[in-house]
Amino acid sequence: MIKIACIQPEVLNTIKSCYSEIERLLKLLIEEQNNCDLICFPERCFPLYKDMNSNFQQERGEIYNFLKNLSIDYNIAIVSGAIWEKRKNSKMPKITSYYFNDFGDEIGRQDKIHLYSYERELFESSNEINIFPLKNYHFAILICFDMAFFETPRIAVNNGANLLISPTQIRLEGMENWNIYLKARALENRIPIIGCNTFGEIFNRKFIGESKIISFIKDFISPSKLKIIEGPSYSSGFISDEIDLDFPNKLRRIRFNEIVKTDQIKITKVEIQKRQ
């Protein structure tokens, strides 16, 4: 069993006020739900300025160090959400999510693979998925739009991920699709998913939160049955749950044994025969 939490802070007008809001919620979470194994943040926890250059951090810059120090001060493992980062060896900035263990050590980072809309003009995409250790298990971080494509979760699962963590920034209009994606990816891979979503208003776009912790109800094998814990709507807050990762591992073995390999499926394109 692992205990996972999502913190869903409001995106406020200044970075300092966002720091205060994040730490306030973290303290409340620890008071109510002690001994979490991992805490996740949304893709965006900080304000977005019209001057795009003001939104980029230096590699392992201020926001990185704030979250790293939270991990040290509160002795808790953290998935950072997403940071817009300039790097010396990259032509363009990266959107990246860091993983700190409960001593504040950086275990690794995951760069966003699928860039959404305007992001393609500003950022460099990744072509790598990292699989991170957590107790006796492993997880992958798939940032927002990476969850919209079935290939990326499947690659992570096929390479040993027992859990998928997705920091997201889904606005109100995209919530219906996002809910479908998360459930579909969980069911088709028989894997728990943590979707931590932004709350606040950015450039007149509403982000309503409703973060998700999706797992499986034990002993429901065929059909499998999802357990969904949902974060607050139109509000800051947090959610947590204890997840049994051994049961979905069993479900996954059953489901993947049922897959008919694509190279074994013959495709016949049927044409309409013209009348003589």
- Mean pLDDT for 198-227 is 96
Q: Is the pLDDT of residue 10 over 90?
A: yes
pTM for this prediction: 0.95
Question: CB pairs under 8 A, 24+ apart, for 88-93?
Answer: 88/59, 90/124, 91/124, 92/122, 92/123, 92/124, 93/56, 93/122, 93/123, 93/124
The model's pLDDT over 17-67, given as tens digits with 9 standing for 90+, comes to 999 999 999 999 999 987 899 999 999 999 999 998 999 999 999 999 999
- Mean pLDDT for 67-71 is 98
Question: CB pairs under 8 A, 24+ apart, for 20-23?
Answer: 21/236, 22/70, 23/70
Which residue is it, tokens 């990476």?
A: 146
The model's pLDDT over 200-211, given as tens digits with 9 standing for 90+, comes to 999 999 999 999
* Contacts with 105 (C-beta within 8 Å, 6 or more apart), sequence order: none
Q: Is the pLDDT of residue 100 over 90?
A: yes
**What pLDDT does residue 274 have?**
84
- Mean pLDDT for 207-236 is 97
Domains of the chain: 2-264 (3.60.110.10)
* Range name among 60-74, 101-115, 175-189, 262-276 with the lowest pLDDT average: 262-276
